Amino acid sequence: MTAYTPEPEHKFTFGLWTVGSTGRDPFGGPVRNPKTPAELVYLLGEVGAYGVNYHDNDFIPIDASPAEAEAIKRDFRKALDDTGLVVPMATTNLAFDPIFKDGAFTSNDPKVRAFAFQKAMKAIDLGVEFGAKIYVFWGGREGTETDSSKNAMEGLRRYREALNYLSEYVLDNGYDLKFALEAKPNEPRGDIYLPTTGHMLAFINTLDHPDMVGLNPEVAHEHMAGINFMHGIAQAWDAGKLWHIDLNDQYPGRYDQDLRFGSRDIKAAFYLVKFLEDVGYPGSRHFDAHAYRTEDYEGVKDFARGCMRTYLILKEKAAQFNADPEIQALLAEITAEDPTVAPFLGKYSSEKAKSLKARHFDRTAIASRGLKYERLDQLTIDILLGTR
Ligand code: DIG
Ligand code: MN
Ligand code: MN
């Protein structure tokens, strides 16, 4: 029986804010006492994670004195040294502080926008200081409740200005850092700008340094928008922009639940893991999720172990799918080339077009073909349920 033990090569990471969540929600206060960043690193080391990520203020409180900040960093670095964990990604909290109540980069108040630039630059420095190579931007407050308040074009222009400015900051400082944009359709704003990975992909092409900017799609966020997550990351991968990924789970039509990976839609999680493993995605498997509010810290460890265990189980099932003779025979039949029409497809030529326009197709005969998808999907279900 496979042990499904996480190893560094799996690149499983968690944010300080995930295993450090104290269980606060809009209808209740914390249920767990806070742990320090160093304590969270030891917890992640205990469960077998590869790395830890942070927002500037999960790590260093916004009002910490320089001496307090140095002490926190010292303990954090010792914990990293003791556990061997690394810091692949960092990000800025541009959502929590009241100053960002109307957004950060897209706020109508120029002072807020300038402060957001300053905060992001300092947070980039903090990420680079501990070795981060990916820097995430999640614009949680970049949006509106009433569109009377802001011109949507102006919102995009301001977002673009911020990312261009911060790209120049990275270049100016010679940092080895790439940006990854994370989309979400709503919450905490009524509507958030650039709501899906597809919107972000188009937006990247309008930036001054698109080569420095990729994507950090999150499962729950695309599911909130009713989108097939694997299709979205396939497009991101196709564009060479899948540089980071936030794994979790989500009931459709709910607020952002950030559930343990694979705990709700196991079939979607299977296709996601299969995609990442089939294409050889080299980045972090980052679990942007948190334990149920019902849990103590032993339950938080169960949550973290469960995220990684389910990923490894689905990775094994993806390999089983790829090796299953009946599935592979069905796929070979379903996706077979047809030599009678191959000459007409592929790159255009006027000769091809002319002869294709003259060709007769027996629509009834072609349409009458059964595609055996029911058998194929049941074989997939059998693999997922362990009955094959
Ligand atoms: C929420 O899904 C966002 C923020 O927690 C953070 O900026 C980003 C990093 O994973 N995800
Ligand atoms: Mn989320
Ligand atoms: Mn996220």
As given in the structure block, the two tokens for residue 274 are: 């299969």
The pTM of this model reads: 0.97
* 58 assigned to active site: yes
CA distance 120 to 127: 10
CB atoms inside a 10 Å sphere around CB 270: 23
- What is the arithmetic mean of pLDDT over 212-230? 97
- Find residue 86's DSSP bridge partners: 51
> What single DSSP character describes residue 385?
T
pLDDT of residue 3: 85
Q: How far does residue 30's CA lie from ligand 3's centre (Å)?
A: 21
Can 102 be counted among the known catalytic residues? no
Please give the single-letter amino acid code of residue 131. G
pLDDT (tens digit per residue) in 59-103: 999 999 999 999 999 999 999 999 999 999 999 999 999 999 999
Catalytically annotated residue among 56, 58, 249, 258: 58
Pocket around ligand 1 at a 6 A CB cut-off: 15, 17, 91, 136, 138, 182, 218, 246, 288
In 3D, which of 181, 340, 320 has the Cα closest to residue 246? Answer: 181
Query: Do the Cβ atoms of 94 and 141 come closer than 8 Å?
Result: yes
Tell me the two tokens of residue 269.
């999680």
Q: What is the mean pLDDT of residues 345-365?
A: 97
Cα separations in angstroms, 100 against 119, 189, 314 = 11, 11, 39
Q: How many CB atoms lie within 10 A of CB 134?
A: 22
Exposure b/e, 274-284, CB count within 10 A at least 16 = b: bbbbeeebebb
Residue 1, pLDDT score: 67
Q: Which ligand is nearest to the CA of 53?
A: 1
Structure tokens at 362: 């027996």
- Could you tell me which CATH class the domain 8-323 is placed in? alpha beta
Q: What's the rounded Cα separation, in Å, for the pair 270 and 381?
A: 10
CA of 215 to the centre of ligand 2 (A): 15
Residue 366 predicted with pLDDT over 80: yes
**pLDDT at position 263:** 98
So what's the pLDDT on residue 290? 98
Question: What is the spatial distance between Cα 298 and Cα 19, in angstroms, rounded to a whole number?
Answer: 11
Peptide bond into 26 cis (omega under 30): no
Spatial CB neighbours of 355, under 8 Å, sequence gap ≥ 6: 343, 344
Select from 12, 54, 91 the residue to mutate for testing ligand 1; criterion: most ligand atoms less than 8 Å from CB.
Answer: 91
Q: Strands (DSSP E) along 277-347, which ranges?
A: 285-287
User: What are the extents of the domains in the chain?
Assistant: 8-323, 325-385
Q: What are phi and psi of 369, to 5 degrees?
A: -70, 130
Task: Give the closest ligand to the alpha carbon of residue 15.
Answer: 1
Q: Quote the radius of gyration of the chain (alpha carbons, Å).
A: 23
- Which of 136, 245, 250 best tests ligand 1's pocket when mutated (most atoms within 8 Å of CB)? 136
Q: Give the model's pLDDT for residue 2.
A: 73
pLDDT tops 70 at residue 328: yes
Rounded to the nearest angstrom, the distance between the alpha carbon of 139 and the centre of ligand 3 is: 10
Mean pLDDT of all residues belonging to the chain: 97
Percent with pLDDT over 90 in the chain: 99
Report which ligand 1 atom has the smallest distance to the Cα of 137: 7
Q: Minimum-distance ligand to the CA of 140?
A: 1
The answer to whether the CB of 21 falls within 8 A of the CB of 293 is no
Euclidean distance between CA atoms 90 and 148, whole angstroms: 34
Average the pLDDT over 123-150 and give the result: 98
